[in-house]
Amino acid sequence: MIPLAFTDLCEMLVREGDLRPTLQATIEEQVAKPLYLLAHNTTNRELAFIFRQSGESDCIGAIDGTHIRIKVLQRETPRYRGRKDYSTQNVLATCTFDLKFTYVLAGWEGTASDSRIMKEALNRQDPLKLPEGKYYLVDAGLMLRSGLITPYRGERYHLKEYSRNPPRNPCELFNLRHASLRNTIERAFGVLKKRFPIISSSTKPSYGVETQKLIIFACCILHNYLRGADPNNELLAQVDAKLMNDNDVHEEPPNPRESNEEFRRGS
């Protein structure tokens, strides 16, 4: 099929078939996969390799932070009241593309930036490890460095921005692909909070800080187990629907005082 015919087919499916981009794939990917399958009689495993959505890859997951309510002493409230109207802890986590958490750092005050917490994660006694030759996807609030890939700044990024307006240049196309994959960590956080209301934003905590940290770790461990034993696709669909309509995007501006070298040293 020539490129023009492929483009016309995509436009027709959008116009007459109500095809829309999803959190996992663009319009072009959704059309190209079945076409390739029909034309080459390939297996799902081969298809996954060709479109790089599972299997072996240098991209091993995504990193982000999420705010979870926390109970602190009154005098400590200002440090913990950041983006929300109530006290929160900023929890940094990594996850794989099957929505399983691989590293969780809890307990940081709600006013702490993701970049500050990342420095701590990379330099603490039990650090977050960035395997050589591999990388995680992160948002523009973190610095581009070895092991971390950020989107292009100054270009459209979030999936909602592409729902009816496809990429206009290579940078936007990269950002769309980046956002589609990095969205994994947001989906993981969403499923985690839906499964365990004790850490949802609507639940006012009644335990001390250290106990609350342990609760988060326990929920993440159980979440990983349930992703294999009871994935609950209906729950995941609810999370996906919410993310598509959620305007509250957790993204912080990068700290201009941080150079790549400072970030590497943790200074």
How many separate domains does the chain show? Answer: 2
Residues 69 and 197 in one domain: yes
Residues 186 and 232 in one domain: yes
Does 124 lie in the same domain as 15?
no
- Sheet containing 148-149: which strands, arranged edge to edge? 101-109, 88-95, 59-69, 135-137, 148-149
Task: Check pLDDT > 80 for residue 249.
Answer: no
pTM over 0.75: no
Q: 71-75, 126-130, 261-265: lowest mean pLDDT where?
A: 261-265
Residues 47 and 66 in one domain: no
In this structure, the answer to whether residues 153 and 220 fall within a common structural domain is yes
Are 42 and 73 members of one domain? no
Look at 262 and 92; give whichever has higher pLDDT.
92
- pLDDT (0 to 100) of residue 117: 95
Closest CA to 64 of 243, 218, 256, 260: 243
Mean predicted confidence (pLDDT) in 117-126: 93
Q: Report whether pLDDT(261) > 50.
A: no
Whether residue 212 is predicted with pLDDT greater than 70 in this model: the reply is yes
- 12 versus 39: the higher-pLDDT residue is 12
Alpha carbon distance 56, 16 (integer Å): 36
Q: Is 146 found in the same domain as 112?
A: yes
At residue 43, the pLDDT reads 66
- Does 82 lie in the same domain as 11? no
Average pLDDT along the chain: 83
Q: Do residue 37 and residue 139 come from a single domain? A: no
Task: Please tell me whether residues 165 and 204 are part of one structural domain.
Answer: yes
Q: How does pLDDT run across 100-116, given as a tens digit for each residue? A: 999 999 999 999 999 99
Same domain, 190 and 230: yes
Provide the pLDDT for residue 44: 66
Please state the rounded mean pLDDT for residues 178-195: 94
Domain boundaries, position 7: 3-51
